[in-house]
Amino acid sequence: MSTTDLSTQHNDPSFSSLWEELNWRGLIQISTDPQALQEALDGEPITYYCGFDPTASSLHLGHLVQLLLLRRLQLAGHHPIGLVGGSTGLIGDPRQTSERILNSRETVAQWVDMLREQVQRFLSFEGANPARMVNNLDWTSQLSAIDFLRDIGKNFRVGTMIKKDIVAKRLNSEEGISYTEFSYQILQGLDFLNLYRQYDCVLQTGGSDQWGNLTSGTDLVRKTEGAAVHAIGTPLITNSDGTKFGKSEGNAIWLDPELTSPYAFYQFWLNTADADVADRLKVFTFRTREEIAELERLTREEPHRREAQRVLAADVNTLVHGEQATQQAVEASAAVFGRGSFEDLDASTLAAVAEALPGATVPGGTQHAVVDLLVATGLSDSKSAARRTLKEGGVSLNNRKVQGEDAVVSPGDLLHGRFALLRRGKKNLAAVTFTD
């Protein structure tokens, strides 16, 4: 995964303040004292942080809101801290439904390294306000159970803890909640306290569904240090029809290109509904208010062009996967619609295209009749129908028209020695993957 140069981006100069821009972009659903927070963000540089727990080997689309918020605040001159939870990841924050399965220490440690690499690609570690990466295992591993209970736990009231939304839901569920997950908010509060003491960190950001955990930190700092610190809860992103953003048939959209290919990632954004695209541009790109207004106009007046979706897909894909992967995704998308060549695509992009299309897998190293492949891929219902389509000139191989009913696909016709893209008519496309 690669990101664009941080120095090439900027905050929108059309806003009178950073606070105004964050609100316009829809990034603040809830916060501590808004006036004090606005003064802090629009004043001298402050230190802020966001935490990411290694509950999987990759961050996903939901985390991207926080990663880009970290980036926006750094562009405004503030000092970011990216925290990967080596200790909180061993516990896991309470889920809405049931207890998490605890992962091994070795697995969590491996995931910490993987997530750290993902987070730091969105930040700059040079210049006047370089970023810092931390792991909360560094300070929690030094605490004994007695010290944790005496010095930290005594500042938390059970009555307050059980009122937190997720905790309350779990307490009222059949399964209940374990003391392990119940204690998660204390650990997250300890993170804020430690970062305040060590780096004068005064702001934590996170999703609004984490508000109970966020305020555990602000309350702990207030009680132990007598200081007022801040928290921002960003809204959970949903589609205009109310469905959860980033979920497609139960599959998360990952930031790791091995889990969600840059091509599939690009297609996800390209398929954004017209009703959602302006909001997505505000949250997930660094386009200015003027640029987004123009894209909104094009969406209203010329929706068939899908210009806003193309800009959104290219911008976000570039942020996450880099310019080269995005260019490949753009070219692949054009080729799928018959407007480009599959031959210029690299092997990984072509494999992602093949995975996304209906198709068939056949033995390699030999010729295969196009008639048979049309049937195998489902492009034709029968060999007679396939021959009729071939006779009418309605079949192309890798976007090149196939001639003759007896046409074959030879090893030399394959792209990267493995793939052949068959098209019937203009819109029906399928992939054939040849095995070794």
Share above pLDDT 90 across residues of the chain, in percent, rounded to a whole number: 81
Would you give the DSSP letter of residue 353? H
- Which are the contacts of 178, defined by CB distance < 8 A and separation ≥ 6? 99
How do residues 394-434 score in pLDDT, each as one tens digit? 999 999 999 899 999 999 999 999 999 999 999 999 999 99
What ranges make up the beta strands (E) of 364-409? Answer: 368-369, 395-397, 400-401, 408-409
Consecutive H or E run containing 138: helix 137-140
Query: Which pLDDT value is given to residue 1?
Result: 39
Could you tell me where in the chain the CATH 1.10.240.10 domains are found? 239-347
Confirm or deny that 188 is annotated as ligand binding.
Answer: yes
**Cβ-contact 237, 293 below 8 angstroms:** no
Can you point out the beta strands (E) in 121-187?
132-135
Contact 184, 103 (CB under 8 A): no
Q: What is the DSSP string of 291-326?
A: HHHHHHHHHHH-GGG-HHHHHHHHHHHHHHH-HHHH
- CA distances to 214, 252, 277 from 192, in Å: 9, 29, 35
d(CA 100, CA 105): 15
Question: Is 164 annotated as a binding-site member?
Answer: no
Domain 357-435 has CATH 3.10.290.10: yes
pLDDT tens-digit series, residues 317-370 = 999 999 999 999 999 999 999 888 999 999 999 999 999 999 999 999 999 999
| pLDDT (0 to 100) of residue 243 | 79
Task: Say what the pLDDT of residue 415 is.
Answer: 96
DSSP-based three-state secondary structure for 248? strand
Is 93 strand, coil or helix? coil
- Burial label for 8, CB within 10 Å (0-12, 13-18, 19+), is exposed
For position 2, what pLDDT does the model report?
44
Q: Which tokens in the block code for residue 203?
A: 């702001």
Q: Which of 78, 91, 96, 89 lies closest to 115 in space, CA to CA?
A: 89
Q: Give the type of residue at 338.
A: G
Task: Locate the DSSP E strands across 60-141.
Answer: 79-84, 132-135
State yes or no: 184 annotated in a binding site: yes
Cα–Cα distance, 368 to 434 (Å, whole number): 10
The CATH label, of 3.40.50.970, 3.30.1050.10, 1.10.240.10, 3.30.950.10, for the domain at 239-347 is 1.10.240.10
* Res 276: pLDDT: 96
Burial class (CB in 10 A: 0-12, 13-18, 19+), 292: buried
Cα(182)–Cα(93) distance, integer angstroms: 8
Write down the pLDDT at residue 328.
97
Strand order in the sheet with 47-52: 30-31, 230-234, 201-207, 47-52, 79-84, 132-135
| pLDDT for residue 250 is more than 70 | no
| Position 248 confidence tier, pLDDT thresholds 50, 70, 90 | low
The fold of the 18-236 domain, in CATH, is: Rossmann fold (3.40.50)
Query: Where in the chain are all domains bearing CATH 3.40.50.620?
Result: 18-236
CA dihedral angle for residue 25, residue 31, residue 36, residue 39, rounded to 10 degrees: -20
Residues forming CATH 3.10.290.10 domain(s) in the chain: 357-435
Instruction: Report the distance separating Cα 34 and Cα 81, nearest Å.
Output: 22
The tens digit of pLDDT for each residue in 259-269 reads 999 999 999 99
pLDDT, tens only, 120-168: 999 999 999 999 999 999 999 999 999 999 999 999 898 888 888 888 8
Q: Is 247 annotated as a binding residue?
A: yes
Residue of higher predicted confidence among 99 and 29: 29
Rounded average pLDDT over 216-236: 96
Task: For tokens 């998360």, name the residue.
Answer: 252
pTM score, two decimals?
0.91
- pLDDT at 8 (0 to 100): 56
What are 105-120's pLDDT values in tens digits? 999 999 999 999 999 9
